[in-house]
Structure 1
C-alpha cells in the first residue's frame, strides 16, 4: 500500500494502521504541510517528529519496515517512477492542501490549492493508467463537495427522473471554498478515468475528523500525529476543546446552526482498510460518505460544555465564511457500516483523550491563532 501524504495528520496514522495489519507500506510526501506551518507561524499542539524518525521508531517497535519516497506529486515523472518501483496494490491519496481558509486567503493561495490538488491527482491517475490500471486508488474526498443541499445527500450518485426518463448521475456538488472545489474537480476527473480507462477507485467523502490517537500512535510519543487548532488548519472541535481547557469562551461563528458530519480518527483508518479490503471493481467509481455522526456547531459546543469537567462559556462571532446559518442536512452513510465499520462516538473520545491531550500541551497554544483571520468576502489579488 502506497500512502501519499504520509507525513500528514491522517496519512501517518493510516500508514501505521496498515503496517500493523500486515500490509507492506510505502510512504510518500513532499513535506508541504510543515511548510504551511512556517508560512503561517503556527504549528501542531502536540510535538511531532520528522517522518524519517517516526518511520525508524515504528520499525524498532514493530519490526515492520516502510520505504520512504520524498518528492512532489506535481512531478509526473517522479510519481510514475515511484508507482513503477513500489508496485502497490492500492494507493491511498491524502497528499493535498486540505484547508478551506488557506485556499481563501488570496489569489495566490486559491491558485496554489487548485493547481497542487488537481494536477497532482491527475499525475497519480496517469501513473496508475500507464503502470498498472488494476491498482486501486483510494482517494480522500470531503463531505464539503456536496455543500448543504435541501435534499438528502446520497453516497456519491443520484437516480434522477426528468421528463419521463431516468438516469444515474454524480450527485450535484455545491462546494463552499476553492479547496472544496478542487476536491470536486478531483472526483470528476477520477470518475472520467474509471469510465474511459477502466480504473478502479474509491472516493471517500470524509466529514470533520477529530481525535489525535490511534492504538499505534499510542505506543510511543515519537509516533504522535498532528493536532491542529489554529483558525486556518484547525477544526472547530479542536478549537473548542482548547478554549474549554484554557478557560476561554468557545467561539461559535454566527448562529452556530451550520451542521457537519464528523468521525473519530480511529474510524478514519478503519474506513481506509475497509475500502482496501473490499476494492472497487475495474471501471467502477465508488463513493462512500465517510462520517459517523452529524452535529451543528452549537451542538458541538454543547457537547464540549457538558463533557468538560469545568465551567465553559460560549461567545458568538461574526461568521467569516459565506454559508447558510441554518440548513437541512441529512446524509446517507451506510456503505462503510455495511462493510463492518464500528463507529466511536464523539462524547466518549472527548472524555477518553482529547481534554487530557490539550491539558498536557496547553503551554504550546498560541492564543492569537484561535481567532479567524481569513474572510470569504474579501477578494485579494496578492501573489503571496
Structure 2
C-alpha cells in the first residue's frame, strides 16, 4: 500500500512510518515541524535527542535500504494539502498532524485558538483533499479517549444504541471533553463522520489512550531513528514524569487524590494498531471507531506500578490538581475492535522493566526538574513560559 503519514516527524508519527515501511508499505511523511517550535516556546526539549527529518530518512535508508519520501506541508494550507495528496496518491492517509497537548491548549486564548484552528482546519482540509483527489482513500485518524470524558456508563466504541420514548437510533457516543485540545478532537470526529455520511468517504477514528514507551523495534536499530521522550508538564505524560522522577530519586508527583482513571497503550501497540486499521480499511461511507487502549489505571495505580517495578526506594507526593476533573469516577471503555483484528497487547509492567527505566537512565543528564512542575491552571490563565 501507499500510505501517507501526516505528522510524520512527531512522537507517534515517526515510529509509525518506520513500522509501516518495515512491513513493506510505500511510505511518505509530511510535517510542518511546528512541534519542534513548541519546544523552543516552552523552553524544554525531548529527554532523548532527536535528529532532523533528513538525517532520520537517510539513516533509515542506510540501515534497511528502504526509502521514505518527505513533504514539508502545513495542513492549514488547503491548496498545498491537495497538491501533496494528488502528488503521492496514497491508498491510506494516517493523520497524526495535530497539536496534542491539553495543558498547551489551556494556557490562554491564543493557545486555545491556535489548537482548534490548527487541528480542526487541518483535518477539514485533509477531508476536502481526499474528496477532490480520490474519495476511495482511507483516512486513519488519531482521536483520543479524552473525547468521551468519564461518563457514569460504559464507553462504547464510538457509537451508542439509544432507546428514547419508544424509538431506537444509533448515534455517536456523547462527548464530554476536558480541554480545548480534546474539544478539537470532538470537532474532528463530527466533521469526519459527516464527510463519510454525506460524501461517502471511508475513515477509521482511533480514540487512543495515553501512550507510553519510547522504543519500537525499528527506532532501536540506530540512535538516529529515535523518537521523542516528553516528560514536562505541558507535553509529557504522567507515566514519563514518574519514570524520570524515579530515576532521579525524587518523589512521584500525583495530582489530587490520584483516582483519575485513564486507558493506556504501549507505543509498540499504537503503531501496530495503525497498521491493522490501514490494512483492513473501513467500507465506503463508513465512519469506524476503535477505542485504542490495552489497559486502564488510575494515576495512583500508575505510580504504584512504577514504584513496584523500579529497583530502588520510591515515595509518592500528592499535589493540588491544576485540572478540572473528577477525582474518583467510573471508567469502563469497550476496546475489542483492534484485538479482533489481531492486536496482541504489551503490558505496562513489562515495558517499564524492559525499556523506559533504561532510556531515562541513559539520558538523565538532560532532565529538567523544573519543567515537570504543573504550571497551567484550568480555572484561570497562567503562563508556563520559561527561560532556556
Q: Which TM-score band (shorter chain)? A: over 0.9
**SS across alignment from 2:314:** coil
How many angstroms apart in 2 are the aligned matches of 1:379 and 1:161? 41
Which of 50, 53, 59 is the aligned partner of 1:51?
A: 53
CA offsets per residue over residues 263-287 of structure 1, 9 Å max, x none? 0000000000000111000000000
How many angstroms apart in 2 are the aligned matches of 1:213 and 1:240? 17
Residue 253 of structure 1: aligned partner? 255
Given that 2:376 and 2:382 are in contact with CA atoms closer than 8 Å, whether structure 1 keeps it comes out as no
How many angstroms apart in 2 are the aligned matches of 1:63 and 1:220? 14
**SS across alignment from 2:74:** coil
Residue 138 of structure 1: aligned partner? 140
Q: TM-score, normalised by structure 2?
A: 0.98
**SS across alignment from 2:141:** strand
Q: Offset at 1:226?
A: 0.1
How many angstroms apart in 2 are the aligned matches of 1:347 and 1:379? 36
Residue 159 of structure 1: aligned partner? 161
How many angstroms apart in 1 are the aligned matches of 2:143 and 2:54? 27
How many angstroms apart in 2 are the aligned matches of 1:117 and 1:78? 16
Indicate yes or no: 2:182 matched with 1:180: yes
Residue 234 of structure 1: aligned partner? 236
RMSD in angstroms over aligned alpha carbons? 1.0
Q: Which runs of 5+ in 2 are unaligned?
A: 384-388
Residue 18 of structure 1: aligned partner? 20
Q: Offset at 1:380?
A: 6.7
Indicate yes or no: 2:325 matched with 1:332: no
Indicate yes or no: 2:347 matched with 1:345: yes
Residue 88 of structure 1: aligned partner? 90
CA offsets per residue over residues 236-295 of structure 1, 9 Å max, x none? 000000000101000000000000000000000000000011100000000000000000
How many angstroms apart in 1 are the aligned matches of 2:146 and 2:177? 6
Alignment of 1:1-384 (within 5 A): 1-379=3-381
Tell me whether 54-63 or 160-169 shows the greater mean CA deviation.
54-63
How many angstroms apart in 2 are the aligned matches of 1:69 and 1:325? 43
How many angstroms apart in 2 are the aligned matches of 1:17 and 1:324? 37
How many angstroms apart in 1 are the aligned matches of 2:247 and 2:309? 12
How many angstroms apart in 2 are the aligned matches of 1:130 and 1:277? 23
How many angstroms apart in 1 are the aligned matches of 2:381 and 2:245? 30
Given that 1:228 and 1:238 are in contact with CA atoms closer than 8 Å, whether structure 2 keeps it comes out as yes
Given that 1:97 and 1:117 are in contact with CA atoms closer than 8 Å, whether structure 2 keeps it comes out as yes
CA offsets per residue over residues 332-375 of structure 1, 9 Å max, x none? 00000000000000000000010011010000001100110000
Residue 225 and residue 380 in structure 1: after superposition, are their counterparts in 2 closer, same or farther (change >3 A)?
closer
Count of aligned pairs? 382
**SS across alignment from 1:118:** helix
How many angstroms apart in 2 are the aligned matches of 1:119 and 1:184? 13
How many angstroms apart in 1 are the aligned matches of 2:240 and 2:68? 30
Question: Which contiguous aligned blocks of 4+ residues in structure 1 show a shift greater than 6 angstroms?
Answer: none
CA offsets per residue over residues 298-332 of structure 1, 9 Å max, x none? 00000000000000000000000000010000000
Given that 1:143 and 1:207 are in contact with CA atoms closer than 8 Å, whether structure 2 keeps it comes out as yes
How many angstroms apart in 2 are the aligned matches of 1:356 and 1:93? 30
Q: Which runs of 5+ in 1 are unaligned?
A: none
CA offsets per residue over residues 161-215 of structure 1, 9 Å max, x none? 0000000000000000000000000000000000000000000000000000000
